[in-house]
Chains A and B, each alone.
Chain A
Amino acid sequence: MSPHFSRRELLNFVAAAGGTHAVYQTSRALGLLADSTPPASLNLSPVGSAARTAVVLGAGIAGLTVAYELERAGYGVTIIEASHRVGGRNMTVRSGDVIDELGQRQVCQFDDEPNLYFNAGPARIPGHHQRTLKYCRDLNVPLIVKANFARNAYHQDDASFAGRPVRLGHYVADARGFLSELLHKAVDKNQFDQALSADDRERLLEFVTAFGDLDDSGNYAGSRRAGYARGYQSPEEYRSPLPFDDMLGGDFWKWVYTASENPDWGDPLMEVPGGMDGIVQAFVRELSSPITLNAPVQSIDVTADGVDVVFCQQGVLHQVSADYCFNSIPAHFLPGIPSNLPREYKNALAALKPNKLMKIGLQMKRRFWEEEGIYGGTTLTSQPIGELWYPSHDIHAQKGVVIGAYTHGDGCATWSTMTPSERLRAAAECGERIHSGYAELVESGVSVPWERMNHMMGCSVHWTEALRQQHFDVLRRPVAGRHYLVGDQMSYHPTWQEGAFASAEYALLDLDKRVRSDSAVGRLA
């Protein structure tokens, strides 16, 4: 490569030689694109008259994406879905919707109003989830900003402040103030003389003073950042500092303090107005491939020239045969489905355990949170509900749906053995500890424990580092070039839609490579 090429010249050269995908790869290697940026188009090789076929198992985000892309490239596609609905865990619950929990079927009793819905699965999209956003753009799915964190929302911890809720902004400002004061004192007492030059020392003191909003003598005596103590009919006054020992008492510093700095949670996030399943509806509008519902798979056989899938519908077995199979069935179900998948593959599947995750949606009579200055955001609590989300859409409507519990992993255990009505009562009691009068404002609610939902029984795969090392590559590799395991479970970002899109992208690009190499050696008719 000539060292005299400019970057642009180099990219133009690569484009001529290898197509846009090569440009993308090269750009990435040069550091011009962030690693999270997906290809602008998968640019799958059209199969044209050599029509190839694919059966897609599962009509969640991964399955729908695969079907959409393959259809556009000319493949014949059919989608088989075990449950009564399309979307997988992308599920928006509205008035009259069925919650198909095993043994505890619920029907949503929300008012039939367009603003009263509950995203039981994915509910927020960060700006770096470029695949999710690309498909929203391509499919004309509207997006609005969702407030995920708000300084006016609360932290409530039974182990601190006698369980009283404290505004997040107050907590954060005071924590920084106190830590800064400690550091200021250490620097001031020349604790760092060996390490710091006089200049550095001055700069550090200024930094610490600004970081914690300290006064001239390096003490923290409260900050405007903690929020106003009262309205504007009197001189400004800020919330007075919280007792520092109380701040150390609870779990605040373990994760609450930095929760808004998690890149997947940091504002601004986005959501689909009217419900996250707008993405699912957009795919369904675009697709012409048939989607067969209520059709659990009974067997999967990879053959010399394709894949045979048997499914059951209304007590009758049907077989579908295709050149390729894209399988997004939850990995934890596959040990219960007969197949001729290789031994190594089956062993890998048997080692995986599902994640657990539960949400409760509550229709509230009145948008009381707005009366407390909260317009969206999340209250974080040590109580079993874990989190309390306030909607930032449809501000000042009469009613609203809050996410009254959001818990995962071991936190689900107490909830999963309750009846749905017990869950609602428990969630209302927890909310009462944060907002007085909360329980009386609950009009109706639904709980969605994914680890108990029919045809789901979990929320993606619980990947540990060891499991990933041992099994991820085995499962991502297609079986005989015919059977691809997909879904957010087969990504480096499980439980997010972005993971589902990424797994579909990975599998489709792998397929495309094989199809192109087939045509190159003239194996296509």
Chain B
Amino acid sequence: MRTISLLLVGLAGAAMAEPMNGAPPPSEFVYCTTCHGVQMMGNATLNAPRLSGLDAGYVERQLVAYRAGWRGTVAGDSVGALMRPMAMSLSEAQVAAAAEYVASTRSPLPVPTGNGDAERGRSLYPSCAACHGVAGKGNAAVAGPALVGLNDWYLVRQLTGYRDGWRGTHADDTAGQQMVGAASQLKTDDDIADVVAYIMTFSAISKP
């Protein structure tokens, strides 16, 4: 028999099921974790990708992109459309603070869920490496975000979006336009699945 107890726990105090040692969400950003999960670990059921530990600058640019209508406005991006009002509701100061919060979150790296051919993907990856790094850790010099830590299903959806014209098409979205060009190298769904499968192999050798 256990008596009921209510304890204040420190960051690493709770006997948690998995290592989730980032800071708890500040009240104003609890909303982020509703869909993206505790410590932004991601929730495939809600199409909400893992964002734990993403570069703050990248997160801020994406929130700005949603607010400016570069993301979440084009037909086909129904998931982005659900995210957009959330970004719209933030003040400019909150956008920066939300990005800092997301960057501070920690969760285990995602496990692969797709069945792409990583070996074949390796041969498609070199054109990605200039901006995203040979091991997918990003390239700060050209503001290329890290790919390690993103869910494979999220990468597939975004690459499909670049290819199908619902991401990166806005006239002011120069980084997005670059990606549209890069994604056009991936001709088929298999190409996308394979390169993503290769990207997922980086997780095995990375520690975030």
Question: Is A308 within 8 A of B89, CB to CB?
Answer: no
Interface string of B7-36 (1 = CB under 8 A from A): 111110111111010011111001101111
- Contact check, B4 vs A55: say whether CB atoms are below 8 A apart: yes
Report B-chain residues with C-beta under 8 Å of the C-beta of A76: 3-4
B1 & A525 in contact (Cβ 8 Å cutoff): yes
Taking a contact as CB atoms under 8 Å apart, the answer to whether A316 and B24 are in contact is yes
Please indicate the chain B residues that have their CB under 8 angstroms from the CB of A310 in the complex: 9, 14, 16
Produce 1/0 per residue, B131-151, CB < 8 A to A.
Answer: 000000000000000000000
The answer to whether residues A301 and B4 also contact, given A335-B45, A338-B41, A419-B85 and a CB cut-off of 8 A, is: no
Contact flag A50-B88 (CB < 8 Å), given A316-B24, A413-B78: no
A160 interface contact, C-beta 8 A:
no
Nearest-CB distance from A326 to chain B (Å)?
Answer: 13
Q: A417 and B82: CB pair below 8 A?
A: yes
A interface, by DSSP: helix, strand, loop or mixed?
mixed
CB distance from B43 to the nearest CB of A (A): 4
Decide: B33 and A336 in contact? CB cutoff 8 A.
Answer: yes
Residues of B within 8 A of A144 (CB): none
Please tell me if B37 contacts chain A, counting CB pairs below 8 Å: yes
Would A312 and B30 be within 8 Å (CB), given that A102-B86, A104-B89 are in contact?
Answer: yes
Q: When the two chains form their complex, are residues B9 and A337 in contact, meaning their CB atoms are under 8 A apart?
A: no
Mark A344-357 against chain B: 1 for CB-CB distance below 8 A, else 0.
00000110111000
Q: Does A340 contact B (CB under 8 A)?
A: yes
Q: B23, B37, B85: which has the most chain A beta carbons within 10 Å? A: B85
- In the assembled complex, the Cα of A508 lies from the Cα of B9 at a distance in Å of 30
Does A228 interact with chain B (Cβ within 8 Å)?
Answer: no
The listed residue (B6, B34, B44, B48) touching A318 by CB distance below 8 A is B6
Binding stretch for chain B, among A146-154, A239-247, A376-384, A451-459? A451-459
Q: How many A residues face the partner with a CB closer than 8 A?
A: 58
CB–CB A102/B31 < 8 A: yes
Determine if A299 is an interface residue (Cβ-Cβ < 8 Å).
yes
Q: Give the contacting residue for B9; candidates A319, A322, A452, A455; CB below 8 A.
A: A319
Contacts of B15 in A (CB 8 A): 301, 303, 308
**Complex CA–CA separation, A318 to B14 (angstroms):** 8
Residues of B within 8 A of A524 (CB): 1
Q: In the complex, what distance in Å separates the CA atom of A318 from the CA atom of B45?
A: 27
Complex interface: chain B residues within 8 A of A3 (CB): none
Whether A231 is near chain B, meaning CB under 8 Å from some CB there, is no
- Complex contact B36–A103 (CB within 8 A): no
Q: Are A53 and B2 in contact (CB under 8 A)?
A: yes
Interface presence of B5 (CB below 8 A): yes
Quick one: which of B34, B38, B81 contacts A454, CB cutoff 8 A? B34
Say whether B30 contacts A296, CB under 8 Å: yes
Q: Once the chains bind, are A318 and B7 in contact (CB under 8 Å)?
A: yes
| A320: Cβ under 8 A from any B Cβ | yes
Q: Which of A35-63 contact B (CB under 8 A)?
A: 50-53, 55
Find residues 28-87 in chain B having any chain A CB closer than 8 Å to their own CB: 30-31, 33-39, 41-46, 48, 78, 81-82, 84-87
Q: Is the CB of A352 within 8 A of B85?
A: no
- Report the minimum CB–CB distance from A439 to chain B (whole Å): 25
Given A323-B2, A336-B48, A350-B45, A102 contacting B34 (CB threshold 8 A): yes
Contact B13 A315 (CB under 8 A): no
Q: Which residue of chain B has its CB nearest to the CB of A297?
A: B38
Least CB distance from A399 to B in Å reads 30
Contacts of B7 in A (CB 8 A): 318-321
| Complex contact B1–A338 (CB within 8 A) | no
Q: A298: nearest residue on chain B (CB-CB)? A: B38
- A299-B38 in contact (CB<8A): yes
Chain B residues whose C-beta falls within 8 Å of the C-beta of A350 in the assembled complex: 44-45
Q: Which A284-338 residues have a C-beta within 8 angstroms of B?
A: 294, 296, 298-301, 303, 305-306, 308, 310, 312, 314-323, 332-333, 335-338
User: How far does the alpha carbon of A522 sit from the alpha carbon of B107 in the complex, in Å?
Assistant: 43
Q: Do the beta carbons of A298 and B24 come within 8 Å of each other?
A: yes
Q: Contact mask A394-423 → B, CB, 8 Å, 1/0?
A: 000000000000000000010011010000
The answer to whether A156 has its CB under 8 Å from any CB of chain B is: no
Taking a contact as CB atoms under 8 Å apart, the answer to whether A298 and B20 are in contact is yes
Roughly how many angstroms separate A233 CA and B148 CA in the complex, as a whole number?
81
Contacts of A260 in B (CB 8 A): none
Check A336/B43 contact, CB under 8 A, given A78-B4, A298-B38, A315-B26: yes
Which residues of chain A are near B84, meaning CB under 8 Å? Answer: 103
- Indicate with 1 or 0, residue by residue over A448-468, a CB within 8 angstroms of chain B CB atoms: 000010110100000000000
The residues of B that contact A319 with a CB separation of less than 8 Å are 5-9, 13-14
- The interface residues of chain A lying within 8 Å CB-to-CB of B88 are 103
Instruction: Give every chain B residue within 8 A of A452 (Cβ-Cβ).
Output: 82
- Given A332-B43, A333-B43: A318 and B89 interface contact (C-beta under 8 Å): no
- Give the residue of B6, B35, B48 whose beta carbon is less than 8 angstroms from that of A320: B6
A-B CB contact pairs (8 Å), 19 listed: A102-B82, A103-B85, A103-B87, A298-B16, A300-B17, A310-B9, A312-B30, A315-B25, A317-B14, A319-B14, A321-B2, A321-B4, A323-B2, A335-B37, A336-B38, A336-B48, A349-B45, A452-B82, A525-B1
- A-B pairs, top 9 by smallest CB distance, nearest first, are A336-B37, A103-B85, A336-B43, A103-B86, A53-B4, A340-B17, A103-B89, A312-B24, A310-B14
Beyond known contacts A299-B38, A336-B38: 14 more, CB 8 A cutoff? A53-B1, A76-B4, A77-B4, A298-B14, A298-B24, A299-B14, A316-B8, A317-B11, A319-B6, A321-B5, A336-B37, A337-B38, A338-B20, A354-B45
Binding site for A on B (CB under 8 A): 1-11, 13-18, 20, 23-27, 30-31, 33-39, 41-46, 48, 78, 81-82, 84-89, 107
